[in-house]
Structures are given as C-alpha cells and as structure tokens.
Structure 1
C-alpha cells in the first residue's frame, strides 16, 4: 500500500485517480467519479484496496461540493475544477463509503492493523456524515436549542 497519510488522496491509487481526472475531458469526469463509487458500492463480496481507495477519493470530491464539505486535497487530488456533480452521487458515495469500512473490505482490513487506523476510520466517518448526517439523539437535540 503506497500510503503516506490518512487523507482521501494520500495514497498512490487515489493520487493517480486525481491525475486521471485532470487528464480526462470535462464531460468524462463525472462518469469516472460515478464509476469509482459504483464499483465500491455494488460490491457484495470482497472489495479490493484499489477500488476502496478510488472510492474514498471520489467520495471526497462529492463532499467538497456539499455546502458543509471541505475542499479536496489540493496537493494530490485533481488540480482542474470539476463541473457541479449531480446530487444523486451523494447517496452513491454514502453507499461506497459504507462498503469501504465493511468487514469484506481489504482496505478496512489493512487500516485495522495500522497505527493510524482509528484516525483513518474517523476521516471516513466525517466524509460520510457530511453526506448523510446522523440523526441527533434526544439529548443532543436538547443541547442545540
């Protein structure tokens, strides 16, 4: 695993995906992002590391366009701007992220053995929560009032 940190683009596969997006025509980029998310979301069995890493990067790009999202990695992510992504990619990104951290994910298995594994998992949860915010408990809701 050519990984140097826990961010969505902090590995060779995701950085290459960002470069591939830059090399692609503007009208092809959405389908590349959709394809990366779909490959992860549709896995009923083993999800390999590369597909998981691309899915996390693609989800980060969807999150970056969400009003509550953070920008994608400027160093290793795509340098060229993306067109506005359709809202249906948010649901697909949530499904993909769920598969990335599932029991049958090779990427989750690798991170479970790493020192920074809990931080990586927290980062995935943060991405997911932007796209599908958790429903606050009654106690949390009272504190918001």
Structure 2
C-alpha cells in the first residue's frame, strides 16, 4: 500500500474511495462504517481502516463545511451538493468506526507506530473525531 501522507486521502485506498463516494454517495459512507463495525471482523485490516477514515473525512466535510482535506474535485462537488441533514444520522456511527480504527484489533495503529509520522497521523485522526463531535 502506497502512503504519501497522514491524511485520509493521502494513500491509494483513500484516493480510490473518493471515486466510490462520487459514484455511490451516502451508501459508500455507510458501507465503510458498517464494515469497520462488523462484529464478525476480529481484526480490522489497514485497507478497511483507510476506507473508514476517508468516509469519516467526507462526512465531517459535509457536516462542518470544512473541505481543506478534500483534494479530489469531483468529491468536492459531491460534498457541496450533499444534504447535511440527511447525513447527520451517520455521525455517531462514524465516530464509533473511527474508534475501531484506533483500537488494538486494528492494523493501522501498528503500521503508523513504526513510522516517523505516527504522531501526526494520530493527531489527524483526533482532529477527525473532534470534527464529528
């Protein structure tokens, strides 16, 4: 998996997820959160963690209007047209899913712990959680 930064869209999975949202809308967000929270998943793989963080970033952008972390033009257009009231019910699910990404049974914290950017990644995930508060 190719990483080029700590943000949710600064990896191959997150970048590809932008296209999923443009194509499938809110369904893509809900699906990413559902996969992360699936009780039958004993260990959350990095790919699913990246998708969860990207979905949470999109939701936060819709709810707060803050799109600085969104670099894909088509995704920015989708966010601009999205109805925050319709997506509001996903807020708590998103927070739970991001919490799962940070949990001991998730691959991403281990991967970032081995990186010199690990603290920056954790700070960015905390920023995301705060935005979803």
Q: TM-score, normalised by structure 2?
A: 0.86
Change (3 A) 1:30 1:75: closer
Partner in structure 2 of residue 125 of structure 1: 126
C-alpha RMSD of matched pairs (Å)? 1.9
Match of 1:29 among 19, 22, 25: 25
Please state how far the C-alpha of 1:101 moved relative to its aligned partner: 0.8
The count of corresponding residues between Structure 1 and Structure 2 is 127
Change (3 A) 1:131 1:8: same
Determine which structure has the larger helix proportion and give its number. 2
1:60 aligned to 2:47?
Answer: no
In the alignment, structure 1 segments of 5+ residues that lack a partner are 133-145
Larger radius of gyration: 1
Task: Indicate if the aligned counterparts of 1:15 and 1:77 stay in contact, CA closer than 8 A.
Answer: no
1:51 aligned to 2:51?
Answer: no
* Separation in 2, partners of 1:65, 1:7: 17
In the alignment, structure 2 segments of 5+ residues that lack a partner are none
Q: TM-score, normalised by structure 1?
A: 0.79
**Following superposition, which runs of at least 4 residues in structure 1 exceed 2 angstroms of deviation?**
41-44, 75-80
Question: 50-59 or 37-46: which moved more?
Answer: 37-46
Q: SS in structure 1 opposite 2:25?
A: helix
